[in-house]
Amino acid sequence: MGRIVESAHAKINLVLDVGPVRSDGYHWIHTVMQSLELRDIVIMEERPAGISIECLPGDPTRQGAMFCLELEPCSMPPSNAENLAWKAADLLRQAVGIQRGVSITIRKAIPLAAGLAGGSADAAAVLRGLNRLWNLGLDLAELAAVGVKVGADVPFCLLEGTAEVTGIGEKIRPVDSPPPWPVLLLKLPVSVSTKSCYEAYDKLASPPRVNAPAMLEALANCDLAAAARRLGNSLEAVTFQQVPELAFWRQAMEQAGCLGVLMSGSGPTLFGLVRDEEHGHAAFQRLAHRIKQEPPAMLPNLYLTRFLSSNRQDQFEGGTRHA
Q: Which amino acid is at 277?
A: E
The stretch 144-158 carries a mean pLDDT of 93
Mean pLDDT score across all residues of the chain:
92
Tens digits of per-residue pLDDT, 162-179? 999 998 777 899 999 999
Among 120, 151, 175, the domain boundary falls at 175
Answer for the pair 264, 271: CB distance below 8 angstroms, yes or no: yes
Domain stops at, among 148, 175, 202: 175
Q: Which percentage of the chain shows pLDDT scores above 90?
A: 78
Check whether residue 213 and residue 293 sit in a common domain: yes
Is 11 assigned a catalytic role?
yes
Query: Quick check: helix, strand or coil at residue 101?
Result: strand
Determine the pLDDT at residue 105.
98
The pLDDT of residue 73 is above 80: no
Query: From start to end of the chain, where are the E strands?
Result: 3-21, 27-47, 51-57, 67-69, 101-108, 162-166, 171-174, 182-187, 232-233, 260-263, 270-273, 301-306, 316-317, 320-321
Question: Which residue among 17, 153, 171, 314 is the active-site one?
Answer: 153
Does residue 315 form part of some domain? no
- For residue 323, is it within any domain? no
275: CB partners within 8 A, 6+ apart: 224, 259
Question: Is pLDDT at 323 greater than 70 in this prediction?
Answer: no
Question: Please, which residues have CB within 8 angstroms of residue 23's CB and are 6 or more apart in sequence?
Answer: none
Helix (H, G, I), strand (E, B) or coil at 198: helix
| Range with lowest mean pLDDT among 44-53, 200-209, 300-309 | 200-209
229 within some domain = yes
Q: Which of 11, 108, 171, 187 is catalytic?
A: 11
189 and 106, same domain (yes or no): no
User: Does a structural domain hold residue 95?
Assistant: yes
Q: What is the pLDDT averaged over residues 8-35?
A: 92
Task: Specify whether 40 is catalytic.
Answer: no
Residue 198 has a pLDDT of 87
Are the beta carbons of 246 and 267 closer than 8 angstroms?
A: yes
Per-residue confidence band for 318, with pLDDT thresholds at 50, 70 and 90: low
* 297 burial type by CB count under 10 A (0-12 exposed, 13-18 middle, 19+ buried): exposed
263-272 per-position pLDDT tens digit: 999 899 999 9
The mean pLDDT value for 292-319 works out to 79
Query: Which residues are CB-neighbours of 235 under 8 A, at least 6 positions away?
Result: 16, 18, 197, 198, 201, 263, 265, 266, 267
Cα angle for residues 218, 124, 301 (degrees, 5° grid): 65
CATH code assigned at 200? 3.30.70.890
**Percent of the chain clearing pLDDT 70 (strictly above):** 96
Residues 104 and 213 in one domain: no
The tens digit of pLDDT for each residue in 197-253 reads 888 888 888 888 999 999 999 999 999 999 999 999 999 999 999 999 999 999 999
11 and 37 co-located in one domain:
yes
| Strand 3-21 relative to strand 232-233, pairing | parallel
Half-sphere exposure for 189 (CA within 13 Å, toward CB): 13
Chain centre to alpha carbon of residue 30? 16
Full residue range of the structural domain in which residue 17 is found: 3-66+74-175
CA dihedral 272, 277, 281, 287 (to 10 degrees): 0
Closest CA to 29 of 241, 269, 197, 160: 197
Report the CATH number that the domain containing residue 113 is assigned in CATH: 3.30.230.10
- Domain identity same for 8 and 151: yes
Question: What are the pLDDT digits (tens) for 102-130?
Answer: 999 999 999 998 999 999 999 999 999 99
Predicted local distance difference test score (pLDDT) of residue 1: 64
Query: Cα–Cα distance between 250 and 285 in angstroms, integer?
Result: 16
**264 & 126 share domain:** no
Asked if 7 and 91 sit in the same domain, the reply is: yes
Same domain membership, residue 162 and residue 123: yes
Is it the case that residue 39 has pLDDT exceeding 90?
yes
Shared domain for 170 and 201, answered yes or no, is: no
- Is there a contact between 112 and 75 (Cβ–Cβ < 8 Å)? yes
| Domain membership flag for residue 311 | no
Residue 10: pLDDT above 90? yes
| pLDDT recorded at residue 87 | 98
Question: Are 208 and 122 members of one domain?
Answer: no
**pLDDT value of position 322:** 34
pLDDT of residue 319 exceeding 60, the answer is: no
